[in-house]
Amino acid sequence: MIMHKNNRREFVKKLIKVAAITPILANSALNAVADTSNKEYIETVRGKIKSSKIGMTLSHEHILVDFIGAEMYDTGRWNHEEVIKIVSPYIRQIQDLGCKTLVECTPEFIGRDAKLLKKISKETGINIITNTGYYGAADNKYIPAHAYRESSDQLTERWLNEFENGIGDSKVKPGFMKIGVADGSLSELHKKLVIAAAKTHLRSGMVIASHTGPALPAFEEINLLMSQNVSPEAFIWVHAHVEADDSKRYKAAQMGAWVSIDGYSEKEKGKYVNWLLQFKEMGLLNKVLVSHDAGWYSPGEPYGGSFRPFTDVFLSLIPALYKNGFNEDDINQVFVKNPADAFSIKIRNI
Ligand SMILES: [Zn+2]
């Protein structure tokens, strides 16, 4: 759906209302500098930036997702110009709200298109981070045939090749790994993906974001990584918000893993505020990532289908957090420092 002028006007009205109740638009959090070491960097689709320059970050979103499956996968199924025209206004909305970086979590064979992401980044000026790795959730629908027969070492070589030489002929390098596992105990294939990710991490320093959901596979992944001498600090437990037992999230954070509560929308406000207050209370605010898992352009649907904007975090969650006692440092911690730390290219071994 193309954003109309009226929507834009409505949006600006909302923005002014939010500015009145939260300092976020006017204060330093917007331009906050993460206090990571100067040497640390993040790999964006337009090249390396210092980690301290990441700014306000949405750590799990999607620009384009194609659910057709690995067998039928073809980046020719969408037109760059059309996608750019439809998606850019949604990017500009969050830029107006202070967002500087968007982590695009769509893996290869589900719609990762490095050239497209680079064009959108150039067009809008936002930093975009893309990924390497394979997604095993959804009954392995997005796993390419070669991944069944190849060893973890061979998969590692493929992912490292992208890290070192770029994705295809795009010259765009991935800034993290995105893998995915089913929500039960890890299958042999999914164990292989995790081990390949561990080996890739130890040779690249890319963090491992894994679509996981419940705690059961999350802790199996953490243990498997540790068996490969990879620290839990190199692991992002993606979709951790679906776990019913709150204590599991705090336990993973205490072990050093990144806990990604990335399904935010306005109707989840109460839950997210409570969780974040609890993370703060327990001294674990430095281990949590928050995002919407929103978007995206859907190839095959007219004008890419319906697009969920990336704005609720700014328009409802951050104002609610301020009302509930969060200060600028806390907001800065969750939306600037944590992504800077998580996505910095650095080897985290044990
Ligand atoms: Zn996602």
How far, in Å, is the centroid of ligand 1 from the Cα of 344?
20
Q: Which residue has the tokens 């390419």?
A: 144
How far, in Å, is the centroid of ligand 1 from the Cα of 24?
26
Token output for 24: 């976020």
How far, in Å, is the centroid of ligand 1 from the Cα of 208?
14
DSSP state of 19: H
| Mean of pLDDT values over 194-199 | 98
How far, in Å, is the centroid of ligand 1 from the Cα of 62?
6
**Which residue spans within the chain are E strands per DSSP?**
41-44, 47-50, 56-61, 99-104, 127-129, 131-132, 176-180, 208-211, 235-238, 258-261, 288-290
Rounded to 10 deg, the angle between the 152-165 and 188-204 helix axes is 40
Token output for 223: 């243990």
How far, in Å, is the centroid of ligand 1 from the Cα of 103?
10
Say what the alpha-carbon torsion angle 115, 171, 49, 252 is, to the nearest 10 degrees.
80
Q: For the beta carbon of residue 71, count every other beta carbon within 10 angstroms.
A: 10
**Which residue type is seen at 21?**
I
Confidence of residue 309 (pLDDT cuts 50, 70, 90): very high
How far, in Å, is the centroid of ligand 1 from the Cα of 20?
32
Q: What is the mean pLDDT of the chain?
A: 93
How far, in Å, is the centroid of ligand 1 from the Cα of 211?
7
DSSP state of 335: I
Confidence of residue 258 (pLDDT cuts 50, 70, 90): very high
How many Å apart are CA 83 and CA 244, to the nearest integer? 36
Q: How far is CA 78 from the centre of its chain?
A: 22
How many Å apart are CA 212 and CA 67, to the nearest integer? 18
Residue 40, pLDDT score: 95
∠ CA 230-129-253, rounded to 5°: 40
Contacts of 192 (CB under 8 A, 6+ apart): 147, 151, 152, 155
pLDDT at position 27 over 50: no
Residue 5, pLDDT score: 55
How far, in Å, is the centroid of ligand 1 from the Cα of 105?
6
How far, in Å, is the centroid of ligand 1 from the Cα of 340?
19
How far, in Å, is the centroid of ligand 1 from the Cα of 181?
13
- Sign of the torsion formed by the C-alpha atoms of 91, 93, 96 and 99: negative
How far, in Å, is the centroid of ligand 1 from the Cα of 114?
17
**Which residue type is seen at 195?**
I
- Tens of pLDDT, residue by residue over 52-61, are 999 999 999 9
Residue 25, pLDDT score: 46
- Tens of pLDDT, residue by residue over 126-169, are 999 999 999 999 899 999 999 999 999 999 999 999 999 999 99
**Pairing of the two strands 258-261 and 208-211:** unpaired
DSSP state of 71: G
Token output for 269: 């406000």
How far, in Å, is the centroid of ligand 1 from the Cα of 265?
14
Residue 23, pLDDT score: 47
How far, in Å, is the centroid of ligand 1 from the Cα of 136?
13
How far, in Å, is the centroid of ligand 1 from the Cα of 21?
30
Task: Output the pTM of the full model.
Answer: 0.92
Token output for 301: 């649907």
DSSP state of 168: T
How far, in Å, is the centroid of ligand 1 from the Cα of 61?
6
